[in-house]
Amino acid sequence: MQTTRCKLDPLQQSDLKYMQRIYSSHEVRKYLGGVVPEEYHLNKFLDALERSSTKESNIWTVRLKENNDFIGVVSLDNHTDGRFKEISYEFLPQSWGSGYAAEVVGQLLMYALHELKLGKVIAETQTANTASCRLLEKVGMRLEHKLQRYGAEQALYSFNDHSGLFD
């Protein structure tokens, strides 16, 4: 899968060193429970790799087309409630503010609705993560409700095939 400026490749064993950059970044992990201790990097990565090898979960690395630089990871996985697929994303700080995340998440929404034929896709983020909330609204997702989970207020966004955005 690709966008105008990025390419998405399925997560592979050789991506551990890139994922460690995500796991170790205080900025990236600020609203995700904090930095993952180094001794858990391998287990967290192997869990993601195993999940991505099933039909239930898709995890992609995101790289710039122009130079193949790793800038983040996106996934389409079962949400905690088990009813819908959830889009999630983690981008390295040096790529923030350039529109890459919106480009990739928007493409992932099109893929979920048109290729996978999902009727509804959701995303959950902390309400304190205002940049993530803005991103989800920018790609056409709508705030459904707020809830307390993981020790913080969360915003649950949704996008469904009735939005008309990609018709």
Report the alpha-carbon distance of residue 47 to residue 36 in Å, rounded.
14
pLDDT at residue 10, as a whole number: 92
CB hemisphere CA count around 52 (13 angstroms): 20
CA 105, CA 88: separation in Å to the nearest integer?
A: 8
Inter-residue contact 76 to 85 (CB < 8 Å):
yes
- pLDDT at residue number 96: 93
pLDDT in tens, the chain (167 residues): 999 999 999 999 999 999 998 888 888 888 777 777 788 888 888 888 887 777 778 899 999 999 999 999 999 988 887 789 999 999 999 999 999 999 999 999 999 999 989 989 999 999 999 999 999 999 999 999 999 987 889 999 999 865 444 43
Q: What is the 3-state secondary structure (H, E, C) of 104-146?
A: HHHHHHHHHHHHCCCCEEEEEEECCCHHHHHHHHHCCCEEEEE
Break the chain down into helix, strand, coil percent, rounded to 5. Answer: 35, 30, 35
pTM here? 0.87
Q: What does DSSP assign to residue 69? A: -
**For the chain, what is the largest distance between any 2 Cα atoms, rounded to a whole number of angstroms?**
46
The Cα–Cα gap between 22 and 17 comes to 9
